[in-house]
């Protein structure tokens, strides 16, 4: 950490270690505040959002005062994000598709429909409001379903096709989505539960719990050696994913979000390992890696938000983002909830949809976790279906559709 005067502004520069340490402390602060403040607990606000937003609001205040600023080194944010998605990929057993049943098919097709809808809706609104339709796509599934990873990857692609400002719009929209997705998911679930007077009980169908029971049957404890093996496995998959991403860029000049390849490697390994056991997967160790990487990554993402970029956006873009949010909330509350059976699991899954439909899969997991913690009932059904669809299977339609929409509207 060091400080300096830059253009007359007292600037505090936090290196990677300081930034990560601050994120960890803020995450703990978030958990502490949620336990102590009824409002945060009642509305199921995730701990990373609480701690991270507090810091981003402080940075916003310093920005407006103009006399001082804080700069973060978020170099570890991307590896933590990739680590989390790699653990999600490890959970992507195709055998689980059979266990997901009808609810998984409904949720997956709904996710695919949302990805297409957001792009069409965004591009249409952009044209009506007098800005380039590709900017509407940037404020659609690119940033809202894809998050900062897709925004950082596809923004430059759009700019290379002649759409000025696409990257800034994508990053700012993803920033908005991360905040909105983290704040709105829990309250939506709570509203649905109270409005429909839902009984607080989750499905105990074996097809949703069996895979968890199988993984945990001999996994009540794990040693440091078990943890090291799982950490090494995750790191090897991340490295292979990085290699694949680099080669795709070299061979095809196509920017693939960094987490996609690592997740794909993890999914392939998991399904090979299911049929020809190579490594005994220790679910508790993997869960620990997932929880820590998710918590610190999401806190780091929230604390480094440049909130002033949201109201620096042109009014048409703000209108698009607000209407996208309203549309998703209405679709989740009045369509998906009914399709999924109008029960507790459905409400938790709607919280997840709002999380990754506006922000990213970590938002979805955090939202669902906050809801389940609040009602003290675990929805195995939601935690099987939402991460599998929102982080892995949605990309089967989401990424190709983004590429098509960008190229079509950039002509």
Q: Who wins on pLDDT, 79 or 411?
A: 79
CA triplet 1, 82, 298: central angle to 5 degrees?
Answer: 60
According to the per-residue pLDDT averaged within each range, which of 41-50, 55-64, 191-200, 274-283 is highest?
A: 191-200
Give helix 344-358 / helix 95-128 axis angle, nearest 10°.
50
Backbone Cα Rg of the chain = 21
CA–CA separation, 404 and 411 (whole Å): 11
Is the pLDDT confidence value at 315 over 70?
yes
Average pLDDT over residues 113-141: 93
At 256 the pLDDT is 63
Tokens matching residue 304: 């480094």
Q: What residue ranges do the domains of the chain occupy? A: 76-409
How much of the chain exceeds pLDDT 90, in percent? 33
Q: Who wins on pLDDT, 63 or 319?
A: 319
Q: Who wins on pLDDT, 391 or 155?
A: 155
Confidence of residue 335 (pLDDT cuts 50, 70, 90): very high
Element spanning 72, H or E? strand 68-72
Going by C-beta distance under 8 Å and a sequence separation of 6 or more, which residues neighbour residue 280? none
Reference 388, options 108, 123, 194; nearest CA is 108
Confidence of residue 263 (pLDDT cuts 50, 70, 90): confident
At 204 the pLDDT is 65
Q: Is the Cβ–Cβ distance between 197 and 255 less than 8 Å?
A: no
Mean pLDDT of the chain: 84
At 340 the pLDDT is 94
At 260 the pLDDT is 76
Is the pLDDT confidence value at 217 over 50?
no
Residue given tokens 């949620």 in the structure block: 34
At 207 the pLDDT is 56
Average pLDDT over residues 136-143: 93
What single DSSP character describes residue 340? T
Reference 175, options 272, 312, 16, 61; nearest CA is 312
Average pLDDT over residues 177-203: 89
At 255 the pLDDT is 60
């Amino acid at each position: 950490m060091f400080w300096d005067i830059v253009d007359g502004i007292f600037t505090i520069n936090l290196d990677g270690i300081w930034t990560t340490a601050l994120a960890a402390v803020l995450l703990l602060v978030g958990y502490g505040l949620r336990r102590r403040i009824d409002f945060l607990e009642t509305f199921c606000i995730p701990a990373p959002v609480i701690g991270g937003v507090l810091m981003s609001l402080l940075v916003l205040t310093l920005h407006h005062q103009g006399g001082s600023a804080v700069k973060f080194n978020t170099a570890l944010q991307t590896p933590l994000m990739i680590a989390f998605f790699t653990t999600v990929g490890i959970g992507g057993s195709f055998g689980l598709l059979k266990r997901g049943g009808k609810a998984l098919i409904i949720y997956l097709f709904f996710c695919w429909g949302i990805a297409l809808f957001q792009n069409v809706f965004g591009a249409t609104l952009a044209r009506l409001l007098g800005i380039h339709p590709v900017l509407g796509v940037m404020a659609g599934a690119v940033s809202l379903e894809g998050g900062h990873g897709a925004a950082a990857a596809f923004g430059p692609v759009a700019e290379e096709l002649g759409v000025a400002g696409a990257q800034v719009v994508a990053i700012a929209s993803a920033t908005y989505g991360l905040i909105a997705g983290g704040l709105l998911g829990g309250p939506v679930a709570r509203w649905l539960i109270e409005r429909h007077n839902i009984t607080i009980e989750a499905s105990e169908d074996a097809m949703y719990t069996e895979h968890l029971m199988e993984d945990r049957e001999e996994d009540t404890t794990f040693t440091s050696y078990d943890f090291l093996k799982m950490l090494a496995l995750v790191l090897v998959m991340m490295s292979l994913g990085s290699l694949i991403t680099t080669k795709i860029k070299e061979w095809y000049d196509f920017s693939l979000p960094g987490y996609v390849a690592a997740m794909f490697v993890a999914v392939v390994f998991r399904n090979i390992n299911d049929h020809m056991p190579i490594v005994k997967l220790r679910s508790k160790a993997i869960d620990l890696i997932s929880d820590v990487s998710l918590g610190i990554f999401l806190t780091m993402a929230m604390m480094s938000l440049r909130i002033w970029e949201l109201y620096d956006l042109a009014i048409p873009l703000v209108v698009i983002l607000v209407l996208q949010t309203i549309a998703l909330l209405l679709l989740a509350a009045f369509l998906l909830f009914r399709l999924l059976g109008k029960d507790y699991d459905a409400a938790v899954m709607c919280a997840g949809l709002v999380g990754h439909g506006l922000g990213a899969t970590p938002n979805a997991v955090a939202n669902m976790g906050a809801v389940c913690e609040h009602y003290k009932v675990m929805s195995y059904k939601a935690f099987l279906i939402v991460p599998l669809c929102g982080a892995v299977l949605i990309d089967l339609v989401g990424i190709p559709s983004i590429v098509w929409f960008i190229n079509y509207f950039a002509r």
